[in-house]
Amino acid sequence: MAKQIGIIKLKGTIGDISFYKSQDGHLARGKGGVEASRIANDPAFQRTRENGSEFGRAGKGGKLLRVALRTLLQKASDNRVTSRLTKNVLAVIKEDTTNERGLRTIPDGNLALLESFEFNKNGKLAGLLYAPYTGTIDRVAGTAVADIPAFVPVNDIVAPSGTTHFKISNGGVEVDFATETYVFDSEASAVLPWDSSTVAALSLTANLTANSTLPMFQAIGIEFFQEVNGQMYSLKNGNYNALAIVGIDTP
């Protein structure tokens, strides 16, 4: 893969070279590669098939998590969240010590590797919310609870320029990676002023399935607003909102 650096940027194919635009800029690459039928059947490509199978599994698992958290994620993600999450889920799969290579799965891997995953590299929860919080997943009760003691917003929340208000959300999700299904619930605080007034302690609960036998995830997010003429507008289209996985419980 090569980068186009000339004044005139090309798009399309000339001979064996394809020119295209991506989020990394204007690029060019040559045609070629091994035929798909050979990769699928040649014993020499056994490792390639195994890697491809697990990468595909990671992609599906990452997509399932994103879809499950979509209500929160659509307000707090960056343009590379798909590839970043897929990479992390693949790392989970590679920790599976039960199944053979190529057949390793997400539930049998180390799901703890996804804890603290930030869905928005432009607004990380770890760098925005300094009020101490506790995330608790109760598998028996089927809840994911976020408790935040009383705090002062201007002291405990790092807000982008122009912020007048904010909202904190807590989400819980249980995921069945085998059937590609999930259960999701969330609760959010009111839209609160970002000022020096003390905010009373918050307790936000996401209700899931009691005694679930599936992996359970908890995510906390923060969304920023600007008030104009009594109306709340998402600040800079949500570019600096945060969402992170703060807890994982496996059966």
The answer to whether position 183 is within a domain reads: yes
Residues 123 and 102 in one domain: yes
Q: What average pLDDT does the segment 222-246 reach?
A: 91
Quote the CA–CA distance of 170 and 222 in Å, as a whole number.
9
- What is the SS3 assignment for 79? coil
Structure tokens at 121: 């590299």
pLDDT in tens, 164-209: 999 999 999 999 999 999 999 999 999 999 999 999 999 999 999 9
Domain contains 59: yes
pLDDT at 38 over 60: no
Q: How far apart are CA 136 and CA 190, in angstroms?
A: 21
Mean pLDDT of the residues in the chain: 88
Asked whether residue 71 falls in the same domain as residue 166, the answer is yes
Contact present, 246 and 135 (Cβ < 8 Å): yes
Domain assignment of residue 245, yes or no: yes
Domain assignment present for residue 121? The answer is yes
- Nearest to 72, CA basis, from 141, 142, 140, 123: 123
- Quick one: pLDDT at residue 15? 59
| Same domain for 224 and 118 | yes
Looking at residue 235, what is its pLDDT? Answer: 82
Pair (96, 138) in one structural domain? yes
pTM for the whole thing? 0.83
Q: Are residues 65 and 108 in the same domain?
A: yes
- 26 falls in which pLDDT band (50, 70, 90)? low
- Confidence band for 234, pLDDT divided at 50, 70 and 90: confident
What are the respective helix, strand and coil percentages of the chain, to the nearest 5?
Answer: 25, 35, 40
37 within domain boundaries: no
Q: What is the mean pLDDT of residues 39-48?
A: 57
> What pLDDT sits at residue 71?
94
Residues 16 and 56 in one domain: no
Same-domain check for residues 86 and 26 = no
Query: Is there a single domain that holds both residue 209 and residue 119?
Result: yes
| Helix (H/G/I), strand (E/B), else coil: 27 | strand
The answer to whether residues 89 and 121 belong to one domain is yes
For 199, residues 6+ apart whose C-beta sits below 8 A from its C-beta are 150, 151, 152, 153, 192
Give the range of the structural domain holding residue 14, as residue numbers without chain letter: 2-32
Whether 172 is in a domain gets the answer yes
pLDDT value at position 19?
Answer: 58
- What pLDDT, on a 0 to 100 scale, did the predictor assign at position 238? 72
The mean per-residue pLDDT over the stretch 43-70 comes to: 83
Is residue 38, in this structure, part of any structural domain at all? no
Residue 146 has pLDDT above 90, yes or no: yes
Whether 84 shows a pLDDT value over 70: the answer reads yes
User: Per-residue confidence at 75, pLDDT binned at 50, 70, 90?
Assistant: confident
153 and 237 belong to one structural domain: yes
Higher pLDDT, 214 or 52: 214
Structural domains counted in the chain: 2
Domain identity same for 83 and 203 = yes
**Pair of tokens at residue 138:** 């109760």
Answer yes or no: is pLDDT of 6 > 70.
Answer: no
Residue 9 covered by a domain:
yes
**Per-residue DSSP letters for 133-191?**
-EEEEETTTTEEEEEE--B-HHHHB---TT--EEEEEEEEEEEETTTTEEEEEEEEPPP
| 98 shares a domain with 75 | yes
Mean pLDDT lowest among 34-43, 86-95, 155-164, 229-238: 34-43
